Structure 1
Amino acid sequence: MNQSNLTDVDWSKIPAPEDDGAARHLPGMTVASVNLPATDGSSIDLSALSGRVVLFAYPRTGEPGKIGLTDDWDMIPGARGCTPQTCAFRDLHADLKAGGADHVFGLSTQSPSYQGEMVERLHVPFPVLSDERLAFAIAMKLPTMTVADQTLIKRLAVIIDAARIVHVFYPVFPPDRNAGDVLAWLKAHPR
């Protein structure tokens, strides 16, 4: 399938993911110490960060004009929407910071170079982390799905305070509203 327009999506034509309980264990969990390569060239250990962290994860972003991972990508519940989700966090980045987020990160299993192209193309103002080897996903038992022989992280967002997950957004649908939901939660739960 040609991925010509990654941000203009009619969500009524996309199947919504159901809550399969795969993130139920995350609230209250201590974040695993895993170094993740970031698009800014650094290596981030989420367990070592002070303050409030907003981390949103997604299966994979597409590239305009390139073939999608599978022909039925849009019909896989929770697959479509990585670029709209990322753009929403980009657009609300300053508000999220003003709302109490000390750090904002995206996370996927794509390589740092793949993510770097996306960050540059979409003008993303925060680092995106690569869990290409699934070390973080396995350590945290994040919900995953397998598509075209690739293990991908299912879409979710978490709020982390001092290395402990205090809130989880899962499942996330529609993805372009996730950043607004996170912002509303931050405003309702100041530190």
Structure 2
Amino acid sequence: MARRTAPTDPHCAIASALDVVGDWWTLLIVRDTARGVRRFDALHKELGVSRKVLAERLREMVAAGILERQPYQSGPVRYEYVLTPRGRALLPVLIALQDWGDGWVLGDGTATATADEGSREALRVRELVGTRLPELRLPGAGGSLDPVAPDMPFTVLYCFPGAYARPEAYPPGWSAVPGAPGCTLESCTYRDRLADFTAAGAGVHGVSTQRPDEQEAFAAKERLRFPLLSDAGLELTAALRLPTFRTGGAVRLKRLTLVVDAGRTVRAALYPITDIEQSVAAALEAVRTAAAAETVR
């Protein structure tokens, strides 16, 4: 990409990075390709940018190694744009911007693992209903797993800030962050009601940004019988623009629950969650409601 400003410090990595991704549209293209909007016409419709500007930005991003073109049609050949490893490395940057926007533009800067019912952040999460999870896999016990449970009509995907096998492993000040405590209760409640979810036709997956080894130790301690998935790379978080907060030097998912069907479409989004046991019951009811709707079709 062409340099847009004269460098004040030729050795500054920030200035060098902004030469590549400092344009408004560039980061929004990264945002949308991360959530599966990859074809030119779809990006044009989503972004509302002129076709000329979009074509120019896509060419620059391919040249910079952020995107690669992959053919999806022959005769005539048409391409979609997919993030490269270099492009996916920008996902934490997007989440940091979103976190700053939620906290300091839309909020008052307070670290919190929840939100007000009528906040724009809460509305953004609830607007996920009807959207589709992109194809991706996340690390879990035994290898990488699809967030959508195989061979089940529905998946309950509950996102939580973090849970540890040892109490001393929690970051300092964890209990003072509104909405952060309660992850053990949430996972154990899903464990205890797993048979109800199975009978209703739903698998259960937990997701946090913790390392897989931390999740595995916690799952073994609490004898969980469903997978915990690690979104440490923030792929799912960026794809769905899930809300986060930062504590203990790490990005954490705020507590929320999605009900997803086998076609990867979000059927229900529960956020904010203020009563953990009630939220598990609400997730089960959402599965049953979605299953009943499928029967009527």
**Normalized against structure 2, the TM-score is what?**
0.55
- 1:142 maps to which residue? 242
Whole-angstrom distance in 2 between the partners of 1:47 and 1:81: 24
SS in 1 for 2:277: helix
Q: How much identity, in percent, do the aligned residues show?
A: 29
- Counterpart residue identity of residue 222, structure 2: L
Maintained 8 Å contact 2:114/2:254:
no
Whole-angstrom distance in 1 between the partners of 2:137 and 2:200: 27
- Counterpart residue identity of residue 258, structure 2: V
- 1:68 maps to which residue? 170
Whole-angstrom distance in 2 between the partners of 1:48 and 1:96: 12
Q: 1:108 aligns with which of 201, 204, 208?
A: 208
Maintained 8 Å contact 1:37/1:112:
yes
Alpha-carbon offset, residue 142 of structure 1: 0.7
Alpha-carbon offset, residue 16 of structure 1: 6.9
Alpha-carbon offset, residue 32 of structure 1: 1.9
Any unmatched runs of 5+ in structure 2?
1-112
Whole-angstrom distance in 2 between the partners of 1:171 and 1:128: 21
Verify: 1:170 aligned to 2:271, yes or no.
yes
- 1:186 maps to which residue? 287
SS in 2 for 1:66: helix
Sort the Cα spacing of 1:48 and 1:55 in 2 relative to 1 into closer, same or farther, 3 A: closer
Whole-angstrom distance in 2 between the partners of 1:90 and 1:142: 24
Maintained 8 Å contact 1:17/1:173:
no
Stretch of structure 1 that moved more, 21-30 or 161-170: 21-30
Alpha-carbon offset, residue 18 of structure 1: 2.3
Sort the Cα spacing of 1:117 and 1:47 in 2 relative to 1 into closer, same or farther, 3 A: closer
Give the count of matched residue pairs. Answer: 174
Whole-angstrom distance in 1 between the partners of 2:204 and 2:223: 14
SS in 1 for 2:161: coil
Whole-angstrom distance in 2 between the partners of 1:97 and 1:140: 25
User: Between Structure 1 and Structure 2, whose CA radius of gyration is higher?
Assistant: 2
Verify: 1:55 aligned to 2:153, yes or no.
no
Segments of 4+ in structure 1 off by > 6 A?
A: none
Whole-angstrom distance in 2 between the partners of 1:48 and 1:126: 10
Question: Whose helix fraction is larger, Structure 1's or Structure 2's?
Answer: 2
Sort the Cα spacing of 1:69 and 1:176 in 2 relative to 1 into closer, same or farther, 3 A: farther
Stretch of structure 1 that moved more, 142-151 or 155-164: 142-151
Matches within 5 A, 1:76-155: 76-101=177-202, 103-155=203-255
RMSD (Å) for aligned C-alpha atoms: 2.0
- 2:116 maps to which residue? 18
Whole-angstrom distance in 2 between the partners of 1:142 and 1:83: 21
Maintained 8 Å contact 2:138/2:146:
yes
Any unmatched runs of 5+ in structure 1?
1-14
Maintained 8 Å contact 1:49/1:163:
no
Whole-angstrom distance in 2 between the partners of 1:48 and 1:124: 16
Stretch of structure 1 that moved more, 80-89 or 28-37: 28-37
Q: Which has the higher contact order (CA 8 A, sep 6+)?
A: 1
Stretch of structure 1 that moved more, 141-150 or 47-56: 47-56
SS in 2 for 1:126: coil
